[in-house]
Structures are given as structure tokens and as C-alpha cells.
């Protein structure tokens, strides 16, 4: 009996290396991964272009994991929320968001999160554990299997539960599989990672893979950001924006800055002016996310007028500025909420989708 390794934890390169130890030629890795990611096969016995001996050899030593949703909830706005139970009984969730003619999937990278952002429910519970690459990949595979047209899932965003850069190695491996030719074949233009601002890892990310970067900024000065995001005490705004300036952006791409608008905290026109000045040296676009109150939350959502005024200041400074609302409010679809409901057995908790 062998200890089975999950093939979905292996990138193409690592599978080639693994097979090489047993004298299996490298192009077998291409065949195996195409069966798994292009044809959606979950058993080596179905890989008919491999010899029977090789199929048996692989079945003994490698497993092909899968996740099946334990619960799927559809929202009036067209979004769908998937709750997955992992092998150790922990839950993660993914949110499928309708866009014009295609779908975007928001995936989780950790169970819980250790960043402690004050406006985020997931942050309150702390970090439980990192996800393995396979647990990230399987969120995508399961949702794709659930879609009538799997090709309509075109965009992946790491904005669900967890700080992706705090689970760096797994997330980078997952991105390699998501964008790889032998993997899920998503265009790297359509994969976005959102971070609260782990500065050294932003530099690593720019070196290791090509993806879009989103930064959960939420304030235009350090005093306010310190109150909202403890990570700002380690990596204040100027350090964070320097890392953004160093980030190797392909031509015509921009960094997205996410800004949760909170009444009386960061929503004044003066904050918008400061934000506009702050981002001037960058190719930046801005997503404004009005705070989505949850029971026991210490913050309030701004009035509609304040949200529009804030947006207008940024538009007047020629930033693409979109107001984003948490999708699926009627099913508590902001990331983190369904999991909280499942584990507490009670409704009514929410987290902003900001990663
Ligand atoms: S907003 Fe993102 S980084 Fe901050 S605590 Fe929540 S999940 Fe973590």
C-alpha cells in the first residue's frame, strides 16, 4: 500500500519531476493533466491513451481529489454561493458572480483569515488554516462542473475568505495550474489576486507569476488605515504604494484599489481628494464598496449621496471608479457569511468581498 499524493497539488513541472523519479517520460504529465483539467476525468483508469500498467501504477500512488458543494444558494441578483466541506470538516465558500455574458468566480485561499481587518467578519474569527493548492483548484472545478456551459466561467478572483499572499506557495501553485496550458487554461488577464498589503509578497508575486493585482486600501491616510487594517502598522501606505509602483504591470493593465466606504470613517470628499492624489503615480482604477452592515458591526454604510459624491471626486480626477455592491445580499452572499451560518447554525453574518 502506498501513501497517495493528490495530483491536484502538483503543477505541470512538479508532476514531470515526480514521474521522472520512476522513469516515466515527461510528456505523460501533459496527457494526465489534460485528462484531469480539459476532460474532467476523476480516475486514472479512464485515461485510455496510457498503458494499463501505467494507469495501475498511477492509481496506486496518486489520487485525483474533488470537492462537491455541500450547499448552493442562488441569489435574486443572479449570483450563486457554493459552500464546500473539506476533508477535515472545515468549510470554505466560493461566490459565482454574473457579469455581462460570462461568470466570475471569487475563490477562498484560507479557512478564516489572520489579517484582522475591522470591517470584515472573516477577520474576526482569525485564521484556521491555509488551503492546499488542490482545495483552491477544486473550488473552480466544482463550479465549472455545475455550469451548463463551463466555458462561460472566464474570470477568477482571489477575493474570498483569506489573505492569498499569506498562503503564498499554495496560491502561486494554484495560479500556475489555473493559467497553465495543461491546467485550467484561464487567461492571466482574467485572474486577479487581491491583497490587504503584504508588501514583501507583492514583490514575490510580480516575479513569480503574471496576474492582475488588486489592493484592499480602504483609507487614504495611515491614521485611518491603522484603525481599519492592523497590517498597515507593519506596511504603511507609502511602503504599500511603492510595492505597487514596482509591480511589473503588463501594458494596458491597471492595479485595482478596493475601498470599502464606511460612514464617518473614510467617506468624506476630502478622503476622496487625498485618495486621488495618492494614486496619481500609478495606473490605477478604483472599486468603491459601500460597507455592508452585519449584526454587531461597529460601522455603518454611508448615505447614497455621500457614496456618489465620493465617486464623483475620483471621476473628476479621471480615475475609472466603479461602485460595487456585495452580490447576493438576499442569500447573505458576501464571502464568509454562509460558512459562519453553517458553523453557528444561525443566519445574518456578512463579510465584504475585498480579500
Ligand atoms: S478583508 Fe480580506 S484580508 Fe482583511 S480580514 Fe477580511 S479576508 Fe482577511
Q: Which fold has domain 5-63?
A: DNA polymerase; domain 1 (1.10.150)
For 23-32, write each residue's pLDDT tens digit. 999 999 999 9
pLDDT at 57: 97
Q: Which residues of 73-103 are buried (b: 16+ CB within 10 A; e: fewer)?
A: bebeeebbbbbbbeeeebbbbbbbbeeeeeb
Record the cell numbers describing residue 267, joined without a space.
467617506
Q: Which residues of 217-241 are buried (b: 16+ CB within 10 A; e: fewer)?
A: bbbbeeebbeebbbbbeebbbeebb
pLDDT at 346: 32
Mean pLDDT of the chain: 91
- Kindly give the distance from the C-alpha atom of residue 227 to the centroid of ligand 1, in angstroms, as a whole number: 14
For 156-170, write each residue's pLDDT tens digit. 999 999 999 999 999
For 309-332, write each residue's pLDDT tens digit. 999 999 999 999 999 876 544 443
Residue 243: which pLDDT band, with cuts at 50, 70 and 90? very high
Q: Which atom of ligand 1 is nearest to the CA of 162?
A: 7
pLDDT at 112: 94
The CATH number corresponding to 69-344 among 1.10.30.50, 3.20.20.70, 3.40.50.150, 3.40.50.970 equals 3.20.20.70
For 103-119, write each residue's pLDDT tens digit. 999 999 999 999 999 99
Q: Which atom of ligand 1 is nearest to the CA of 352?
A: 1
Site residues for ligand 1, CB cut-off 6 Å: 113, 115-117, 120, 122-123, 161-163, 196, 216, 354-355
- The C-alpha atoms of residue 159 and residue 105 are separated, in whole angstroms, by 9
Residue 227: which pLDDT band, with cuts at 50, 70 and 90? very high
Record the cell numbers describing residue 20, joined without a space.
521522472
Range(s) within the chain of domains with CATH label 3.20.20.70: 69-344
- Residue 66, classed as helix, strand or coil, is coil
pLDDT at 331: 42
- Kindly give the distance from the C-alpha atom of residue 162 to the centroid of ligand 1, in angstroms, as a whole number: 6
Range(s) within the chain of domains with CATH label 1.10.150.530: 5-63
Residue holding cell 485550467? 184
232 has pLDDT over 80: yes
Which protein residue's CA is at the shortest distance from atom 2 of ligand 1? 355
pLDDT at 340: 43
Q: Which atom of ligand 1 is nearest to the CA of 194?
A: 2
Across-strand partners of 212?
192
Burial of 305 (0-12, 13-18, 19+ CB in 10 A): exposed
Which protein residue's CA is at the shortest distance from atom 1 of ligand 1? 355
Residues that are catalytic: 93, 335
Other residues' Cβ atoms within 10 Å of the Cβ of residue 200: 12
Residues in the chain: 355
- The C-alpha atoms of residue 45 and residue 215 are separated, in whole angstroms, by 44
pTM: 0.91
Amino acid at each position: 500500500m502506498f501513501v497517495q499524493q493528490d495530483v491536484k497539488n502538483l503543477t505541470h513541472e512538479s508532476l514531470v519531476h515526480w514521474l521522472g523519479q520512476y522513469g516515466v517520460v515527461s510528456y505523460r504529465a501533459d496527457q494526465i493533466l489534460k485528462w484531469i483539467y480539459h476532460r474532467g476525468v476523476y480516475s486514472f483508469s479512464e485515461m485510455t491513451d496510457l498503458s494499463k500498467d501505467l494507469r495501475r501504477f498511477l492509481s496506486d500512488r496518486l489520487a485525483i481529489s474533488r470537492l462537491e458543494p455541500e450547499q448552493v444558494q442562488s441569489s435574486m441578483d443572479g449570483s450563486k454561493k457554493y459552500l464546500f466541506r473539506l476533508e477535515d470538516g472545515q468549510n470554505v465558500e466560493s461566490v459565482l458572480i454574473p457579469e455581462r455574458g460570462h461568470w466570475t468566480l471569487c475563490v477562498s485561499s484560507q479557512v478564516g483569515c489572520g489579517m484582522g481587518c475591522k470591517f470584515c467578519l472573516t477577520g474576526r474569527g482569525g485564521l484556521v488554516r491555509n488551503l492546499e493548492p488542490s482545495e483552491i483548484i477544486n473550488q473552480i472545478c466544482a463550479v465549472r462542473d455545475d455550469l451548463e456551459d463551463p466555458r462561460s466561467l472566464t474570470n477568477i478572483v482571489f477575493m474570498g475568505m483569506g489573505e492569498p499572499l499569506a498562503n503564498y506557495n499554495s496560491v502561486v501553485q494554484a495560479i500556475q495550474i489555473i493559467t497553465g496550458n495543461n491546467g485550467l487554461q484561464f487567461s492571466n488577464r482574467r485572474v486577479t489576486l487581491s491583497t490587504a498589503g503584504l508588501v514583501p509578497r507583492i514583490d514575490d508575486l510580480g516575479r513569480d507569476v503574471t496576474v492582475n493585482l488588486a489592493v484592499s486600501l480602504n483609507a487614504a491616510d495611515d491614521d485611518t488605515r491603522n484603525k481599519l487594517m492592523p497590517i498597515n502598522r507593519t506596511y504603511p501606505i507609502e511602503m504599500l504604494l511603492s510595492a505597487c509602483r514596482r509591480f511589473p504591470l503588463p501594458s494596458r493593465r491597471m492595479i485595482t484599489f478596493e475601498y470599502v466606504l464606511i460612514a464617518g470613517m473614510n467617506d468624506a470628499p476630502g478622503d476622496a481628494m487625498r485618495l486621488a492624489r495618492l494614486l496619481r503615480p500609478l495606473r490605477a482604477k478604483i472599486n468603491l464598496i459601500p460597507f455592508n452592515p452585519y449584526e454587531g458591526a461597529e460601522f455603518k454604510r454611508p448615505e447614497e449621496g455621500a457614496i456618489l459624491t465620493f465617486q464623483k471626486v475620483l471621476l473628476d480626477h479621471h480615475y475609472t471608479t466603479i461602485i460595487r455592491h456585495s452580490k447576493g445580499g438576499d442569500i447573505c452572499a458576501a464571502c464568509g457569511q454562509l460558512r459562519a451560518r453553517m458553523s453557528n447554525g444561525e443566519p445574518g453574518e456578512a463579510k465584504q468581498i475585498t480579500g
